[in-house]
A = this chain, B = another copy of it.
Amino acid sequence: MQRYFIHQNQIESDLIHITEGDSHHIQKVMRMQIKDQILVCDQKNTYRCEIVAMLPEEVLVKIVDIDSTSKELPVEVTIAQGIVMREKMETVIDNVTELGASYYLPVEMEYCTARFSQEKKDQKMIRMNKIAKEASEQCHRTHLLSVLEPVSFSSLLSMSKNYDLCLVAYERSTKDDSIKKLLEKKNYSKVLVLIGPEGGISEKEMMLLDSANFHRVTLGPRILRTQVAPVYVMSAISYVWEENDDNI
């Protein structure tokens, strides 16, 4: 069934106003009719709805039932990554969206070989968020992953105060930095995970991350590339925090 993402202010009691591009899509692209059904997500629930009116500027649908089974991780995860080449960034955004991340944050770091050029930034942000929207729809999420505007490394350090767990993937971590030990404590609500760019993380950056209370974690004994590491972390988080907690 076709799925549309809306804002909560579009809901009015048991009716939902579908507007703009989505209204056009329903009427002109899908050529739906009165009584046809669609799924509508408001970042919290998924509603099964029936079309009750077609107006030139909007489609009015009536909520038939609510699917409140959560497809969302019980914790908000932000994947921060040193800016990487476009194809890799797109793959990572696509994959971590499927695995339940809430935000993707590109970070300017010392060993980045790729940059966000100022003139292409807006266009790039639109494209990246479109990829996230499509991946969210594909995997039946109720929330969209947001791709945030790139930040400097020092901004990342300041932002980190707003999270209750900050991790940085670092191949030279000692055995003391167990991702397991950290993840087994389940009382987090906001988690930030930093993955370096292709060139890795500089020693100076690591020192600053240490001071900002980032925990260094290793992701198994092999060296993972920058596009695989975020998928490993998100899979581990999903594995530990979702599905059958009683069976651990």
Contacts of A248 in B (CB 8 A): 180, 184
Q: Give residues 41-88 of A contacting B (CB, 8 Å).
A: 69-72
User: Could you tell me if B138 and A239 are in contact, using CB atoms closer than 8 angstroms?
Assistant: no
User: Could you tell me if A223 and B99 are in contact, using CB atoms closer than 8 angstroms?
Assistant: no
User: Assembly of this chain: how many copies?
Assistant: 2
CB of A218 closer than 8 Å to a CB of B = yes
| Best-surrounded residue of A175, A223, A228 (most CB of chain B within 10 A) | A228
| Binary contact track A178-221/B, C-beta < 8 Å → 1, others 0 | 11110010000000000000000000000000000000001111
User: Could you tell me if B225 and A98 are in contact, using CB atoms closer than 8 angstroms?
Assistant: yes
User: Could you tell me if A224 and B139 are in contact, using CB atoms closer than 8 angstroms?
Assistant: yes
Known contacts A231-B95, A231-B235, A235-B232; is-contact A223 B181 (Cβ 8 Å): no
Extra contacts besides A98-B224, A231-B235 (7): CB < 8 Å: A69-B221, A95-B228, A98-B228, A99-B220, A140-B223, A175-B243, A180-B248
What range describes how many residues of A lie at the interface? 35 or more
CB of A151 closer than 8 Å to a CB of B = no
- The CA-CA distance from A232 to B100 in the complex, in Å, is 12
Contacts of A138 in B (CB 8 A): 223, 225
CB of A242 closer than 8 Å to a CB of B = yes
User: Could you tell me if B178 and A243 are in contact, using CB atoms closer than 8 angstroms?
Assistant: yes
User: Could you tell me if A221 and B175 are in contact, using CB atoms closer than 8 angstroms?
Assistant: no
Q: Jot down 17 A-B pairs with beta carbons below 8 A, ordered by A.
A: A69-B221, A98-B224, A99-B220, A99-B222, A100-B220, A138-B225, A139-B223, A139-B225, A180-B239, A180-B243, A181-B247, A184-B248, A220-B242, A220-B243, A221-B243, A232-B235, A236-B239
